[in-house]
Amino acid sequence: MKILVLGLFVLLFAAHLQASDLVGTMRSLREKAWESEYIPESDDSIPPLTAYEEFEVVELFRAETIEELESALPESYPMPWLEETLKDTSIPWEDRYWLDRRVRAAISQNLHVFYDTEGNPVHVDADGIFPGEFYWREHMIADPEGWNVPEGAERPVALEEWDIGHLYNAYGEREGEIAVPVPVIALSRDGNIGVITSGGNDSHHSRRQPLACFLHSDGSFREIPLDTMGVYDAVISADGSAAAFSCRDRFQLSSEERNARIGPVYVFDSDANLQTVIIPPVALGGYWRPKMSADGRYLCHMARGANTCLVDCIDNVATLIDKPIGYYDRNTCDYYFSPDGNYLCLGGATTGRILDLGTSATSVYLDSTSANEGPHHEVAVCSSNEKLVVALTYTRGERPNLWRELVLHLGGRRILTRRVPPDGVSLPIQTEVSPNGHYLLLNPTDAAHGYPTEHSSYNDVYNLPFVALRIEGR
Taking only the tens place, the pLDDT of each residue in 1-38 is 444 444 444 444 455 545 556 656 767 899 999 999 99
Average pLDDT, integer, range 350-359:
93
Q: What is the pLDDT of residue 202?
A: 53
Nearest 5°: phi and psi at 109? -65, -50
Query: Which pLDDT tens digit goes with each residue over 195-244?
Result: 999 997 654 445 688 999 999 999 999 999 999 888 899 999 999 999 99
- What would the mean pLDDT of 87-95 be, rounded to a whole number? 96
- Ordered by start, the domain boundaries in the chain are 184-320
Tens-digit pLDDT profile for residues 395-435: 887 777 788 899 999 999 999 999 988 776 677 788 999 99
Highest mean pLDDT, choosing among 4-13, 264-273, 277-286: 264-273
- Rounded to an integer, what distance in angstroms lies between the CA atom of residue 61 and that of residue 442? 11
**Banded model confidence at residue 334, pLDDT cuts 50, 70, 90:** confident
User: Class of 184-320 per CATH?
Assistant: mainly beta
* pLDDT band for position 117 (cuts 50, 70, 90): very high
With a cut of 60, say whether residue 257 has pLDDT above it.
Answer: no
pTM, two decimal places: 0.89
